[in-house]
Amino acid sequence: MINKYRSYSSDRSKNDRPLNLPREKASNVSGEGSLISSSNTRSYRSGNNNSRTNNSGVNNSGTNSSRLNNSRTARPRVGGPSSYKGKNNFDRGSRLVKSSPAKGVVEIKNQDNTGKLRVMVLGGLEEVGRNMTVIEYEKEIIIIDMGLQFPEEDMPGIDYIIPNSTYLEDKIDRIKAVFITHGHYDHIGGIPHIMGKIGNPPMFMGKMTAGLVQKRMTEYKKAPVLKIKEITENDRVKISDKLQVEFLRVNHSIPDCFAIIINTPLGKVIHTGDFKIDFSPVNDKPADLNRIAQLGAENILLLMSDSTDATHPGYQVSESAIGDEMGKLFEKITGRIIIGTFASQLSRVQKIFDLAKKYGRRVSLQGRSMNDNVEVAHKIGYLKFDPKIIVEDKDLNRLRDDKIIVIGTGAQGESNAFLSRVVNNEHRTVRLKPGDTVIFSSSVIPGNERSIQNLMDMVVRQGAKIIHYKMMDIHAGGHAKAEDLKLMMRLVKPQYFMPIEANHYMLQAHAELAEQIGIPRENIFVADNGQVVEFKKGVKIIIDKKFDVLGQLTKEKVPTDYVMVDGLGVGDVSSIVLRDRRVMAEDGMIVAIVTIDSKTGELIGSPDLISRGFIYMKENRDLIEKTRTKVKMIVKDKNPNTPADDDYIKNKIRNEVGQFLFTSTKRRPMVLPVVIKV
Ligand SMILES: [Zn+2]
């Protein structure tokens, strides 16, 4: 059934087949049978079997499990709003397959949707992050990307947010395949959490992306074994008679990025993923401009395009230009060079390896994500360097300063990353000293300004010099700027246009660019997360242009509420828990401990009060005594029918003490009553 793809099975043996391959419902297996012929099923990338067992000791993405345990036991089992789906029945990546939506979520009726193409973006239209797009033609669904989003400042203790997959969970037999555009976390981070909930359909992605996804999967032992097929720009995946998928090579800050082209009976849909057009990329092939131009003649129904840099005028800088700037810097520096960048900016890392070789320096890699990414990329040949150039920590201090480059994470001021550990003297081997030069080689992500400034202060206090991306142009973004975006639209000539992958104002800016190049406003859809865009046959005439497909941004919305990942837990942090954390962060908490007689409910001794983050007790004896008296009165005023009903007492303490403290202080600490019966 596979059309004209290259043979996937050629270089693999039967032994490669994952031991515990699919055990899903029969319906899903048949769905996948239409996609991949039986002779090729063994070709799924399966290197993860070994690495998974080897890595059994690795904790989940480095999150702090002890904090998890604490917060878990302390966390009330909230039965409230279940919009954070999966809360009650998701067992973290196991094969649990849910066939009906969580309670409280509006069920969207399965429809035949005859002749209809529906497009909905579950994440990435109201934020930069948690990208996930659903394309549905009649009864067939394909998914593009499954990312995560790092939390907002008002979400204490949340590690990240993943897309809400409720819409998909009762349509498992319709889901035919998942396509991943590239290996950044905002496009792959949700995979271990979501794939098990949607029946683990086959996945298609570039080689580098596959390497990174598999690496991440080793940390989630309960997640299903993924069925990944690696693709290149020469492949074509036949989903069914109606849907086929092709891949278009684009550039970005990581190798192997593909735009996804979906052939539907109504025309082609292009999803660019993150992209820029780089004529001289580092260690990657240039974006396929020829193919992009060809597409213009192939009836492009819809272009969904990266809006991250839509508000920036001009053209994006080529990655190789960055290398030149950095080379000039390296020439002048005589001490150690310490570079902070993103672990995912692999083209930057390649350039640093090249310069290290040129200037006779050796490279020390710091931080787990940096080491992981470099290992994956080197193994599959995307990073090219002689392994001898890497220096181990134990040998680092034996080298002369002018022979050392240290590459690490944390240029955004992230608290646990390499750079911040170094300046806080918490790093095992690296200490800053006069003569060091620290290069911040990534642009500031909005919101991180303060922490970066603090970090820089500390670097300078320790006698090191700073070179910031603003001082020299050592940062090339990974995203197309306004002129690049216009070029893409001009070449592709879509009937309809939908900006994606950014905050709303950036989407609007991109929509304006689309209008400038002549796409009618009526055919530009600036949607919100989950808002359904629908296409069907029909004639539409706008001025002198005739369109043979009717597209509209409908009012229908599928669920997109946050699904939060907190330590090892997924989706079990409800808004109530979050509100509690906010209350505690803002106004602190006060614990009232009372001991009562288990039969009579009579108060024994005096209530204890403990304040954390609310008031300093020693300086507020008066208020504390008044509160204590209040608690005593509440306990004495007991319910005559059930004098020792501790729930009743607790509720009363919570409400009345809360009210009392608010009246006295205008603050609302969390009141935590503890009733001990003896
Ligand atoms: Zn990206």
User: What pLDDT sits at residue 123?
Assistant: 95
**Domains, the chain:** 14-313+479-569 (3.60.15.10), 319-468 (3.40.50.10710), 588-677 (3.10.20.580)
Which backbone phi and psi does 420 adopt, to 5 degrees?
-70, -35
Closest by CA position to 562, among listed 267, 98, 122:
122
Quote the ligand 1 centre to 193 CA distance (angstroms). Answer: 19
Q: Is the pLDDT of residue 508 over 60?
A: yes
Secondary structure string (H, E, C) spanning 373-414: HHHHHHHCCCCCCCHHHECCHHHHCCCCHHHEEEEECCCCCC
For residue 595, pLDDT over 60 is answered with: yes
Q: Give the mean pLDDT of 444-459.
A: 82
pLDDT of residue 668: 81
Q: Quickly count: other Cβ atoms within 10 Å of residue 669's Cβ.
A: 23
Q: What is the pLDDT of residue 277?
A: 87
Per-position b or e across 258-275, b if 16+ CB within 10 A of its CB: bbbbbbbebbbbbbbbbb
Q: Residue 327 pairs with which residues in a beta bridge?
A: none
Q: What is the pLDDT of residue 591?
A: 87
Going from the Cα of 583 to the center of ligand 1, the distance in angstroms, rounded, reads 35
User: What is the tens place of the pLDDT at every residue in 5-32?
Assistant: 333 333 333 333 333 323 333 333 333 3
Helix (H, G, I), strand (E, B) or coil at 554: strand
What pLDDT shows up at residue 64?
33
Q: How far is the CA of 503 from the centre of ligand 1 (A)?
A: 15
Among 1-15, 222-236, 328-342, 538-552, the least confident range: 1-15
Amino acid at 403: K
Q: Tell me the HSE value of 209 on the side-chain side, using a 13 A CA sphere.
A: 31
pLDDT at 636 over 70: yes
In this prediction, residue 158 has a pLDDT band, given cuts at 50, 70 and 90, of: low
Structure tokens at 231: 């693709």
Ligand 1 center to 205 CA (angstroms):
14
List, for residues 527-568, the tens digit of each pLDDT value: 999 999 999 998 888 888 888 899 999 999 999 988 877 755
Task: Calculate mean pLDDT across residues 135-159.
Answer: 83
Q: Which residues are within 5 Å of ligand 1 (an ion), measured at CB?
A: 184, 274
| Mode of pairing for the β-strands spanning 300-306 and 267-271 | parallel
Catalytic residues: 306, 479
Average pLDDT over residues 464-473: 73
Give the residue with greater pLDDT, 381 vs 202: 202
59 pLDDT band, cuts 50/70/90, is very low
How far away, in angstroms, is 186 Cα from ligand 1 center? 7
pLDDT digits (tens, 9 = 90+) for 182-200: 999 899 999 999 999 999 9
Section 28-40 average pLDDT: 32
Tell me how far apart the alpha carbons of residues 322 and 476 are, in angstroms, rounded to a whole number: 6
- Cα(184) to ligand 1 centroid in Å equals 5
For residue 31, the surrounding DSSP H or E stretch is helix 26-33
Q: Is the pLDDT of residue 576 over 50?
A: yes
Q: Specify the pTM.
A: 0.68
Q: Give the pLDDT band of residue 261 (cuts 50, 70, 90).
A: very high
Higher pLDDT, 94 or 282: 282
pLDDT per position as a tens digit, 364-396: 999 888 888 899 899 988 899 999 999 999 999
